[in-house]
Every structure is written in C-alpha cells, then in structure tokens.
Amino acid sequence: MRRVYAREEVCISCRLCEVGCAVEHSESKHIIAAMRHESPKPIARIRVQVDGPLSFALQCRHCEEPLCAQSCLTQALRQGEDGVVRYNPDYCMACYTCMLACPNGAITKASKGTWKGIAKCDLCPDREIPACVAICPNEALLFGEEWEWEAMQAPAETAVAARGGHRA
C-alpha cells in the first residue's frame, strides 16, 4: 500500500506540508482565501514535530492493524480493502477514543459550528500525490510503497555514516 513516509534527515521544519494539507482540505482550495477568510480555519492533517535539530512530519500511518479503527465505537473510522483508514464524520460521536488508541498521535480534534469530530490524513483521495508531498521543497516526504522507502533510506544511512554520525 502506498503511504506517506517522512525523512527527518532532510526536513527543515518549514511547515509547508501543513499549509498544503490545510489548503487541500479547505472549502476554497485557495491559499489566501483559506488562510485569511475561511472560518473556521482549515485543519492540517499533518503536523511537523520539532525537537532541537530534529524535525519530521507526523500524519496517519494507515497501519496494517489500525488501533484507531478497532477502538472506534461507531465505525466512523474503517480500514478499506486497499489499506487506507477512512473517516466518515456522519458516524462520529466525538468520543475521541481513536485519539487515545492511535500509537502515533496522528488524529486531532476538529469542529465546525456545532459539529465536533476528528481530522486525520486521508491521503488526498482526489489527487495523484498528497498535497503535503507535492509541496515539500526538500523532498522530506515520500509517497510510495514500503520497498521504495527502504531503498531511499540506504543512501541516507551511508551519507550519515560517512560524516561520522549515526541515526537515532
């Protein structure tokens, strides 16, 4: 299954992935209108985590055995046959059990007017490549299969070792 993978060794914490995601999930799909005029502001389904010099983008990993979907009392979260964990807000009762169950902390609270629920990565189903991946200037996000991710990691490991370092 194709997923979004984060490469912390090249992430510069610019947060453009957050902006791209928020705009993609906005009503207008226009950066200025979305960020300045929409109310409530669109919610990014990806968050950049920063700890000193280390930063990386965090979003739903669409786990093979998604604890969030298994814990959902109303089946608002379901894993499709393609492996993507999808959210149906019509079934959500805003109990936030899924947030507690997610081992990655990739689910956030969301609300609009009187509606309350969650926001999580949906892999931008209307796009060939998710917005966060497309907008990343440093290619710190990869959208692909696990084997593609592993192939990309090998050169990074070699480069870090050549500089006398090691990966945490």
Looking at the predicted structure, is the pLDDT value of residue 7 above 80?
yes
Domain borders along the chain are: 1-59+130-160, 62-120
Measured CA to CA, the distance from residue 6 to residue 54 in angstroms comes to 12
Measured CA to CA, the distance from residue 71 to residue 103 in angstroms comes to 12
Count of residues making up the chain: 168
Measured CA to CA, the distance from residue 123 to residue 132 in angstroms comes to 9
15: left (phi over 0), alpha (psi -120 to 50) or beta: left
Contacts of 28-35 with CB under 8 Å at 24 or more apart are none
Q: How confident is the model at residue 161 (pLDDT cuts 50, 70, 90)?
A: low
Look at the pTM and tell me if it is higher than 0.95: no
Looking at the predicted structure, is the pLDDT value of residue 167 above 60?
no
Average pLDDT over residues 133-162: 79
Specify the amino acid at residue 1.
M
pLDDT of residue 71: 98
Work out the percent of the chain whose per-residue pLDDT is above 70.
90
Measured CA to CA, the distance from residue 100 to residue 142 in angstroms comes to 27
pLDDT of residue 168: 45
Q: What does CATH list as the number for 62-120?
A: 3.30.70.20
Average pLDDT over residues 1-19: 94
> For residue 10, what are its two tokens?
């090249």
Looking at the predicted structure, is the pLDDT value of residue 4 above 70?
yes
